[in-house]
Amino acid sequence: MVWYNHIMRLDKAIIEAGLASRRQMKQLLRSQQITVDGQVVQRPGQIVDSHLQDIRVAGQKLVTAKESYFLLNKPAGVVSACSDSKFQTVLDLLKEEDRVPGIFPIGRLDRDSEGLVLLTNNGPLGFRMLHPKHHVDKTYYVEVNDALHPDAPAFFENGVTFLDGTSCKPAQLTILSSQKGHSRARVTISEGKFHQVKKMFLAYGVKVTYLKRISFGGFELEDTLPAGAYRQLSQEEIKVLKKYFD
Ligand code: URA
């Protein structure tokens, strides 16, 4: 996976942008053809910010992709990955012009799960959203194959222990309907363990038959966004995201 980063060594920024090879770099520096904000630079290890600084190689401006943020409603059958040899990916759902360098889904939903996926090419921000220390809340609408009894919310609130002994942080369960053979619920978790929701319900003794993420990090999946569709985050939403995670 390519982590998008706009703050890095000068030589790395230039080489990654395809403006010079490693060998050409030395020659360009020696012949004073590299400038940052109009000043000739000679130290290849100088740290630059390609979003804020004007970096030129033999007069040619270094341009990096603008930051992109999308909220997508993943349909079942699509994988939350950048590439896959067998299945359609969330990136395949983006229009060509939105498939910018370094774009990736922040976190994963199983192939058979649906719902809210955020995508960005701001690698550090995406990485921070996934870091366990941030405890980003994720809420799922879930259907299971049997009854959920009144003891279920307390079972989830006490921190579920998977059948393999892994323990989870407290989760909030709301039962929406319950009957033998089919129940519906909403569950909020603050971690991102592999198959976490399915394993939590399995520990309770029922099997998840349908799973849809309906909120993530304060973003809600709108009814107006059909499966497979996506929208750009607004400037206001990006500002809030950056306030918490940049
Ligand atoms: N938990 C799961 O088990 N699956 C998902 O896709 C997301 C959370």
Mutating to test ligand 1, I would choose from 202, 208, 211 the residue with most ligand atoms within 8 A of its C-beta, which is 211
Distance between Cα 140 and ligand 1 center (Å): 8
- Specify the pLDDT at position 5: 57
pLDDT tens column, 43-97 = 999 999 887 789 999 999 887 777 899 999 999 999 999 999 999 999 999 999 9
- Specify the pLDDT at position 161: 97
Sign of the CA dihedral running 215, 218, 219, 222: positive
The span from the CA of 241 to the CA of 52, in Å, is: 20
> Span 181-205, mean pLDDT?
97
Residue type, 119: L
- Specify the pLDDT at position 7: 79
Mutating to test ligand 1, I would choose from 79, 80, 140 the residue with most ligand atoms within 8 A of its C-beta, which is 140
> Span 186-200, mean pLDDT?
96
The chain-wide mean pLDDT, for the chain, equals 92
pLDDT tens column, 218-230 = 999 999 999 999 9
Task: Between 100 and 34, name the one with better pLDDT.
Answer: 34
Tokens 């890095």 sit on residue:
8
Spatial CA neighbour of 190 closest among 156, 141, 126, 139 = 139
- Specify the pLDDT at position 3: 40
Distance between Cα 197 and ligand 1 center (Å): 5
Positions marked active-site = 110
